[in-house]
């Protein structure tokens, strides 16, 4: 009985993987053909909480306790108004602003 049950689950898993590939391909085609109309860019930083690393007592290899400070990692998100695709990035680029010099 467990063998046939396992076999049924394997078959179902294979079928679901095929369905997933099909849905992924269909969705990718829709998103690729969309001339995206991006909505507002939302700043959504990732917060990394600080923590303390306790001291390790191991004879001559002892390490004192120390604190790892928390930090904020910049992240931005945008959503297409037409197809709903959501993109997020943590990358930035420099912007050169030209202004008249008198």
Which residues would be at the binding site for Zn ion (CB under 5 A)? 34, 36, 80, 82-83, 85
Separation CA 16–CA 56 (nearest Å):
48
Whole-Å CA distances, 57 to 53, 63, 67, 92: 12, 7, 17, 42
Output the smallest distance, CB 30 to Zn ion, in A. Answer: 8
Instruction: Name the residue nearer to Zn ion (CB basis): 78 or 85.
Output: 85
| Nearest-approach distance from CB 27 to Zn ion, in angstroms | 11
Identity of the residue, 8 or 27, whose beta carbon is nearer to Zn ion in the bound complex: 27
Nearest Cα to Cα of residue 50 among 22, 69, 74, 76: 69
Q: Can you give the length of the chain in residues?
A: 102
State in angstroms the smallest separation of the CB of 69 from Zn ion: 39
- Rank residues 30 and 68 by Cβ distance to Zn ion and give the closer one: 30
Distance of alpha carbon 102 from alpha carbon 34, whole angstroms? 45
């Amino acid at each position: 009985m467990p063998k046939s049950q396992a076999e049924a689950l394997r078959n179902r898993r294979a079928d679901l993987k095929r369905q997933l590939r099909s849905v992924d391909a269909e969705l990718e085609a829709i998103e690729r053909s969309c001339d995206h109309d991006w909505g507002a860019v939302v700043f959504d930083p990732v917060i990394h909480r600080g923590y303390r690393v306790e001291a390790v007592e191991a004879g001559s290899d002892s390490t004192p306790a120390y604190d790892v400070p928390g930090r904020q990692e910049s992240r931005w998100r945008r959503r297409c108004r037409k197809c709903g695709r959501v993109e997020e990035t943590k990358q930035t680029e420099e912007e050169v602003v030209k202004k008249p010099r008198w």
